Amino acid sequence: MDEIEEATGTPVTIEDDGAVHCVPGSTGWGRVTGLAGHVYFYRSISSTNDRLRELAARGVPQGTIVVTEEQTAGRGRHGRGWYSPPGAGLYSSLLLRPTIGVDRVGWITLVAALALVRVAKEEGISLRIKWPNDVEYDGKKVAGILAETVLEGDRVEEVVLGTGINVSWEVEKVPEEIRMRGTALSLCAPVTPDRDRFLASYLWELWGIVGELESEKEDGAPAVASEMMAHLAYLGEHVRIETSEGEQSGICTGLTEEGYLQLDGGLRVVSGELIINVEND
Ligand code: BTN
């Protein structure tokens, strides 16, 4: 534990469930904790989102972060799993209680994707945002974001924002169906980024953009929308989206004021899965 205290410069306690709990108010990881609150580090846990939801129910402050080396039941969207062996990725969840209207909550996932794009850029990696919740390199998924939101009327009560980032893959160990559609920073970066620094920078960046969202007036798209658009994958291309009401397709022309996907002919897709790039003009 002394090692952690020394490395993070942060006072540390051990929870009953084995979590290393860094408390606010110091440097290093404390750059995040100093701003955001408490960080709970685990060696292995079922899912950081599940753990953070439990902590949120106990009333931990906004900004609380759960990080783990491994997830035994990492979750993706639509009930899918998330590949989470030790060392391969960064698995984290951040608790937000954002002071934004329900209409803007869709931006939270995109804001997280943008934060990742910015941090990767500093490492010499050019990533793209695949609406609504993926970050890609060269058409392959590098990171996925799972925002679990609790609404109270027209107020956003809480968002548990989980991010899985594929950092360092030993390709032969990765199941084929995951390898086919995904990749890791180690495979697309000039140098594999330092894990702790990358995660701390990402959370710092994310926290900052959420703050900007909160401080803006609610009408129209947020100021960061144009930057997101510049990194949006499949812009100007013909796309196919699977939605709960069936399939929609068209040329992707950008994002709406609410963060929906805009297709040509005025079509707006509220939520769904961008399956495939059918044809390129
Ligand atoms: C997706 O692409 O479907 C979203 C994947 C989100 C995975 C992350 S890993 C950390 C957090 N904990 C979870 O159980 N899921 C998210």
Q: What is the CATH number of the domain that holds 13?
A: 3.30.930.10
**107 and 205 in a common domain:** yes
271 is in which domain, residue-wise?
A: 238-277
**207 and 96 in a common domain:** yes
Q: Which tens digits make up the pLDDT trace of 110-137?
A: 999 999 999 999 999 999 999 999 999 9
Would you state the pLDDT for residue 227?
Answer: 97
**253 and 190 in a common domain:** no
Would you state the pLDDT for residue 281?
Answer: 37
133 lines ligand 1 (CB under 6 A): yes
Q: What is the CATH number of the domain that holds 272?
A: 2.30.30
Q: Which tens digits make up the pLDDT trace of 191-201?
A: 899 888 899 88
**207 and 161 in a common domain:** yes
**65 and 198 in a common domain:** yes
Q: Flag whether the pTM goes above 0.85.
A: yes
**169 and 75 in a common domain:** yes
Would you state the pLDDT for residue 32?
Answer: 53
- What percentage of the chain has pLDDT greater than the value 90? 63
Whether 28 shows a pLDDT value over 70: the answer reads no
Would you state the pLDDT for residue 103?
Answer: 86
State the closest ligand 1 atom to the C-alpha of 164, by its place in the atom list counted from 1: 9
**Total domain count for the chain?**
2
**223 and 194 in a common domain:** yes
**What's the whole-number mean pLDDT along residues 58-63?**
89
262 lines ligand 1 (CB under 6 A): no
Cα 164 to ligand 1 centre (Å): 5
Whether 11 shows a pLDDT value over 70: the answer reads no
**154 and 87 in a common domain:** yes
Handedness of CA 152, 156, 158, 163 (dihedral sign): positive
Q: Which tens digits make up the pLDDT trace of 33-49?
A: 445 568 888 999 999 99
Strand order in the sheet with 140-152: 12-14, 20-22, 39-45, 65-71, 89-96, 155-166, 140-152, 134-137, 128-130
Would you state the pLDDT for residue 17?
Answer: 83
Phi, psi angle pair for 143, to nearest 5°: -150, 150
**101 and 56 in a common domain:** yes
The CA distances from residue 99 to 12, 19, 216, 219, 256, in Å, are 30, 29, 10, 14, 21
